[in-house]
Every structure is written in C-alpha cells, then in structure tokens.
Amino acid sequence: MAAHEEVERSETELVVLDDESSWREFQERALRRAGYRQVNAYAAVCSCLEEHLNHGRGRRADLVVFGVQPRNEANWNHLRAIRKIYDGPMLATTERHDDAVREKVIDLGVADCLPVGEFGEEALELKVDTVLAAYRINALIEENDHRNQRLFVNILTVMVKILESKDPYTRFHSHSVALWSRMVGRKKGLSEEELIRLGLAAVFHDFGKIGIPEEILNKPARLTDEEFEVMKQHPVIARDLLSSIDLLHDLLPAITHHHERWDGRGYPAGLKTEETPLWARIICIADAYDTMASRRTYKDPMPQEKVIAELNKGKATQFDPELVDIMLEILAERDAEQQAKNA
C-alpha cells in the first residue's frame, strides 16, 4: 500500500452497525486488514451511533456500514432514525441479494447495498472504497462549485441506476469484474493506489451499454452481425460520456480498450499485445472470466474446468499470456482454500 494511501485509510473513521455479532466481527476484521485502523463496531441501533458521535472530542463517522435484517421492522426503524441524525455516506450490508431491500435502503438515502454474504471480504473493501471515493468527489465538486461537473455526476448516478435495472443477471457483473481485476492486479505488482483506480475503471467498464438498445442488450439468443456491430460501440460510448469528468481521465484508456485482444483482433482500435494498456488487459480477462462463470439470461454458468480450458485456449490470442497464468494461479489458490475448509 502506498504511504499516503495507508495514512488516508488509517485516518478514516468507520462505524459498523450490525446486530449479528459474527457479521459485525467479520466486517470489522476485514476493514482493519484493508488498512482502516479506526473501525468501531456496535449493535445496529441508533443509540449506539449517537453515543459514538457524542463520546469524547473528535469522534466522528466518515462512513457508516449498517447491517440490514430485511424481515426485522425494528432494524428498519433504527436505520430510518440514523438517517435523521447522520447525513454522511452509508453502506448497507445484507447476507443475500434482494432487489426490494436494495431499493428500500437507497430510498432511505444509503449509497448502496452489498450482499456481503455472497461477495465476501474483497467486495466489502472495494465497496467501502467506492462509496467513500464517490462521496469525496462530490464534496470536492461542491467545494469548488463546479456546476457542470456536479450536474454530470448527478446524471451519471441516474444512468447507472437505469443500466443496473435492465438485467438482474448482470447487476453485480461490474462489481465482480472489479474484484477479479484487483486480485490479478495485486499479483501483477500494482500499488494499492493503482488497484483502487483499476477497480474503479472496472466498475465503469460497461457503462457505455447505457447507449445500447435494450432489445440488443438483453437478447436471449446470439446477436446478428449487425447487432454485434452496435454492441461493439459501448466502450467508445463510455469514453465519450465520462470524458468530461477530469477526475476520471486516467480510467478512460482501460474503459475504452477492455475489448482489445492480444492478437489485435479486438475492438475498438485493433490494438495488439502490449499496445493495449495494462489495466485494459487485466479488465479483459476479469470480464471474460466472470461472464463465463456466471449465469446470464441466455446461458447457465460454465463448470470451472471448462472456464479454465477456455482461458488456456485464449492464451496469447485473446488474452495476455502472463495474465492468464496469474488468473489460473488465483483460481488454484481459491480452490485449495475451499478444499481446506471442507476437509
């Protein structure tokens, strides 16, 4: 972790509120391992946050992580009460994904809802980073009164919500691609600061699909050649939409070129080998892996052995061969960890 990034995380104060002690302890440990030294964990009641904020000089909450229990009305009442006394950034966590729960917490002014039981420790770290970064970017824009950029960020937020609503199977795709990208990038030797920016680029990698007609985006059968030509425009659409935000400029090459191929047969520019930016090559393999390993409207997830075979098949043609080796190493390590847990 870069020194300034370590200092920034160590000075950020997080409050975890969760009635389930096991989840509360899991989240506290995960965030401390990520470099957040000031993590305070309590039961998910408004009085705990009030006591934290009022106890001692300088106590604050730069971000509140609230554990939602969907069927517990008292839990919802505490969340509503918290939003009345705390207007800072919040992230809700649940054990499993539920569309209705996500919509409800967002209606209460919470930034996002993460099914931490499905996505785990890496996802929690990335989502906390993302919520904090978005909040700080908005604060910076407000502070400098960048009226046009503030308007664009608001439009961007609405557009992301529209895109996410189009297909329930791809709702967490960009988030998963960000997790895999960061894992590959870490083994490749990227700094923590670079990993944060890479993860953000991966979150936005498919943003251009907002400009793709829904009948093409969600078609359950193979696209025609004409439809595929339309689909191929989404990286350029994303570049054009995001280019007016100065704070995202370093992400644009990765977003624009994540569909290039090692052999030069990709799009939109037909770049080959290391002509394609490293971050784009990483997102390319993370994107392909998650697509193969996940359920879609038109297919079931591939078995792991089939996914591995496809990665090897694409080595030095579709994918950077070194990154294929890194991805296979990560998959082998995760498989060994799972076997150890089941032993």
**241: domain CATH number?**
1.10.3210.10
Contact 82, 46 (CB under 8 A): yes
Q: Are residues 260 and 127 in the same domain?
A: no
The domain boundary residue, chosen from 145, 178, 213: 145
Q: Are residues 100 and 206 in the same domain?
A: no
Number of domains observed in the structure of the chain: 2
Start-end of H helices in 165-251: 173-188, 192-203, 214-217, 225-231, 234-242
Q: Are residues 208 and 95 in the same domain?
A: no
Report d(CA 223, CA 221) in Å as an integer. 6
Q: Are residues 110 and 192 in the same domain?
A: no
Q: Are residues 137 and 167 in the same domain?
A: no
Tens place of pLDDT per residue across the chain (343 aa): 444 445 567 788 999 999 999 999 999 999 998 889 899 999 999 999 999 988 766 678 999 999 999 999 999 999 999 999 999 999 999 988 888 898 899 899 998 888 888 888 888 888 888 788 778 766 655 665 555 555 555 555 555 555 555 555 456 788 789 889 999 999 999 998 898 889 888 888 988 887 888 788 878 788 899 999 999 999 998 898 888 777 788 999 999 999 999 999 999 999 999 999 999 999 999 999 998 988 765 667 899 999 999 999 999 999 999 999 999 999 999 888 878 777 6
Q: Are residues 141 and 169 in the same domain?
A: no
Report d(CA 340, CA 67) in Å as an integer. 29
Contact 313, 292 (CB under 8 A): no
**b/e 173-205 (16+ beta carbons within 10 angstroms → b):** bbbbbbbbbbbbbbebebebebbbbbbbbbbbb
Please tell me the predicted confidence (pLDDT) of residue 327. Answer: 96
Residue 264 falls in which region: left (phi positive, over 0), alpha (psi -120 to 50) or beta: left
Please tell me the predicted confidence (pLDDT) of residue 3. Answer: 42
Q: Are residues 185 and 42 in the same domain?
A: no
Please tell me the predicted confidence (pLDDT) of residue 170. Answer: 53
What CATH number does residue 62 fall under? Answer: 3.40.50.2300
Determine the structural domain holding residue 84 and report its residue range: 1-145
Start-end of H helices in the chain: 3-10, 21-33, 46-54, 73-85, 99-107, 116-144, 147-164, 173-188, 192-203, 214-217, 225-231, 234-242, 252-256, 278-293, 304-313, 321-342
The domain boundary residue, chosen from 103, 119, 145: 145
What is the C-alpha R_g of the chain? 21
Q: Are residues 170 and 301 in the same domain?
A: yes
Q: Are residues 241 and 323 in the same domain?
A: yes
The domain boundary residue, chosen from 114, 145, 176: 145
Q: Are residues 209 and 320 in the same domain?
A: yes
Q: Are residues 287 and 334 in the same domain?
A: yes
Q: Are residues 204 and 134 in the same domain?
A: no
